[in-house]
């Protein structure tokens, strides 16, 4: 069965400091990994997906199959990065479901 | 495209009343998902449809919850009778299909049962 673990429920970082949101997954097949962001009282928005290897709003995430991780990183935090971040795991055949982690609430301290 | 559209945005109802939440997926997306978000449990998948057919309803909490998708452009989630513990934000999401695609979420319905 698939599982996504986000070990930190809360994370506070000073403005300008580096950010790393941890995500580990468990899946025996070839995974598809995503990061979603939810700003206060808004919808969840797709931030990035590993397959496209893009950088959105300065965030990047690299899939490490050896460590089964997909950590989200940003070198210099900005106040507008304060939000809830969810890591999600998809499979590539048949099953449409994404398995979401429990989320990490990131607070940027001015 | 206007994205995934949910209505109402807010719903306050009394315990025991029936509640119906509505969702219009993105045109051409063939998968639709209903999620519930609470502080205690985070994001929980309730049910998902593929080509209007319910595929997995194992997350539906109990018989008081039911979901339908009569056509490709409309889905409902009904709670009857509602209870205070059903208070949550209910999100609908749609996907063009396949685990690679990711989801597009609606703005959610904030349900308060008093």
Within 10 angstroms of residue B76's Cβ, the number of other Cβ atoms is 15
Is A107 an interface residue toward B (CB < 8 Å)?
no
The answer to whether residue A48 neighbours chain B at the CB level (below 8 Å) is no
With vertex at residue A8, the alpha carbon angle to CA A6 and CA A14, rounded to the nearest 5 degrees, is 130
**Sign of the CA dihedral with B39 first, then B5, A4, and A106 last:** negative
Let me know if B1 is exposed, middle or buried by CB neighbors in 10 A (0-12, 13-18, 19+). exposed
pLDDT, residue A1, reads: 76
Place A109 in a pLDDT band, splitting at 50, 70 and 90.
very high
Q: CB under 8 Å to A94, separation ≥6 — which residues?
A: none
Mean pLDDT of A64-82: 95
What mean pLDDT comes out for the span B66-81? 96
B106 touches chain A (CB under 8 A): yes
Q: What is the pLDDT of residue B1?
A: 64
Q: Which helix (H) or strand (E) holds B34?
A: strand B31-38
Residue B11 tokens read as 């719903």
pLDDT tens for residues B39-53? 888 888 999 999 999
B24 membership: H or E segment, kind and range:
strand B19-24
Other residues' Cβ atoms within 10 Å of the Cβ of residue A79: 11
d(CA B113, CA B16): 9
The whole-number average pLDDT for the span B73-101 is 90
Mean pLDDT value across residues B55-75? 93
B103 touching A, CB under 8 A? Answer: yes
The whole-number average pLDDT for the span A29-52 is: 88
Window 26-85 of B: residues touching A by CB (8 A cutoff) are 31, 33, 42-43, 45, 48, 50, 55-56
Residues of A in contact with B100 (CB under 8 A): 32, 49, 51, 90, 92
A96–B50: do the CB atoms touch at under 8 Å? Answer: yes
Separation in Å, CA of B66 to nearest CA in chain A: 19
B15 contact A CB<8A:
no
In angstroms, the Cα distances linking A2 to A33, A51, B21 are 12, 18, 29
Please state, rounded to an integer, the average pLDDT across all residues of chain A.
Answer: 90
The residue of chain A with its CA nearest to that of B94 is A96
Question: Given a cut of 80, is residue A95 above it in pLDDT?
Answer: no
Cross-strand bridge partners of residue A60? A73
- Domains with residue ranges and CATH for chain A: 3-109 (2.60.40.10)
Confidence band of B107 (pLDDT split at 50, 70, 90): very high
């Amino acid at each position: 069965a698939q599982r996504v673990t986000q070990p930190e429920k809360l994370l506070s970082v000073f403005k300008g400091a580096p950010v790393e949101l941890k995500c580990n997954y468990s899946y025996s097949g070839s995974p598809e990994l995503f990061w979603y962001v939810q700003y206060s009282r808004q919808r969840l928005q797709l931030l990035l997906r590993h397959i496209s290897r893009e950088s959105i709003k300065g965030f990047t995430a690299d899939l490490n199959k050896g460590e089964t991780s997909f950590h989200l990183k940003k070198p210099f935090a900005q106040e507008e990065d304060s939000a809830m971040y969810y890591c999600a795991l998809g499979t590539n055949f048949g099953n449409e479901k994404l398995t979401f982690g429990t989320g990490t609430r990131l607070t940027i301290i001015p | 495209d206007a994205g995934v559209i949910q209505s109402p945005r807010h719903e306050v109802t009394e315990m025991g009343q029936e509640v119906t939440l509505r969702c219009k997926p993105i045109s051409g997306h063939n998968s639709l998902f209903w999620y519930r978000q609470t502080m205690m449990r985070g994001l929980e998948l309730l049910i998902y449809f593929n080509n209007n057919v319910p595929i997995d309803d194992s997350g539906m909490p109990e018989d008081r919850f039911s979901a339908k998708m009569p056509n490709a452009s409309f889905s409902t989630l009904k709670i009857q009778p509602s209870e205070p513990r059903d208070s949550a934000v209910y999100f609908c999401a749609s996907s063009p299909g396949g685990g690679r695609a990711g989801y597009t979420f609606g703005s959610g319905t904030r349900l308060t049962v008093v």
